[in-house]
Amino acid sequence: MNDTQQLSAEVDAPAGMAELWAALRPLTAARIGLPRSGASLGTPALLDFRLAHARARDAVGAALDASALLAGLSLLMGQPVLVCRSAAADRRTYLMRPDLGRQLDADALALLQASGSRGGLAVVLADGLSAQATQRHALPVLEALLPLLQAQGWALAPVVVLHHGRVAAGDVVARSLQAEAVLVLIGERPGLSSPDSLGAYITWAPGAATSDADRNCVSNIRPQGLAPQAAAAKIAWLLNQMRVQQRSGLALKDQMSQPVQVPAG
* Residue 34 sits in the same domain as residue 75: no
The answer, yes or no, to whether residue 9 has pLDDT greater than 60, is no
Question: Residue 106 forms beta bridges with which residues?
Answer: none
- Residue in 195, 175, 173, 184 with CA at minimum distance from that of residue 239: 184
Range of the domain at 51: 16-61
- Residue in 131, 110, 108, 125 with CA at minimum distance from that of residue 62: 131
Of 61-65, 153-157, 218-222, 244-248, give the lowest mean pLDDT range: 61-65
* Residue 56 sits in the same domain as residue 71: no
Instruction: Please state, in angstroms and rounded to a whole number, the distance separating the CA atoms of residues 179 and 101.
Output: 20
pLDDT, mean of residues 107-125: 92
- The per-residue pLDDT for range 121-166, each reduced to its tens digit, is 999 999 999 999 999 999 999 999 999 999 999 999 999 999 999 9
- The per-residue pLDDT for range 184-196, each reduced to its tens digit, is 999 999 888 889 9
Q: How many helices (H) and strands (E) does the chain have?
A: 10, 8
* Residue 148 sits in the same domain as residue 197: yes
Question: If DSSP codes are grouped into helix, strand and coil, which group holds residue 83?
Answer: strand
> Using N-to-C axis directions, what is the helix angle for 43-61 and 131-152, rounded to 10°?
60
* Residue 22 sits in the same domain as residue 79: no
Q: Is residue 259 part of a domain?
A: no
- Phi first, then psi: what are they for 20, rounded to 5°? -65, -45
Does residue 219 contact residue 199 with C-beta atoms inside 8 Å? yes
* Residue 137 sits in the same domain as residue 26: no
**CATH code: domain of residue 86:** 3.40.50.11240
pLDDT of amino acid 36: 80
* Residue 41 sits in the same domain as residue 71: no
Instruction: Please state, in angstroms and rounded to a whole number, the distance separating the CA atoms of residues 252 and 254.
Output: 7
* Residue 147 sits in the same domain as residue 96: yes
Of 3-7, 55-59, 210-214, 246-250, give the lowest mean pLDDT range: 3-7
Q: Is residue 5 part of a domain?
A: no
Read off the amino acid at residue 168.
A
* Residue 115 sits in the same domain as residue 194: yes
- Phi first, then psi: what are they for 202, rounded to 5°? -120, 130
* Residue 31 sits in the same domain as residue 111: no
* Residue 161 sits in the same domain as residue 100: yes
Read off the amino acid at residue 199.
G
The answer, yes or no, to whether residue 114 has pLDDT greater than 80, is yes
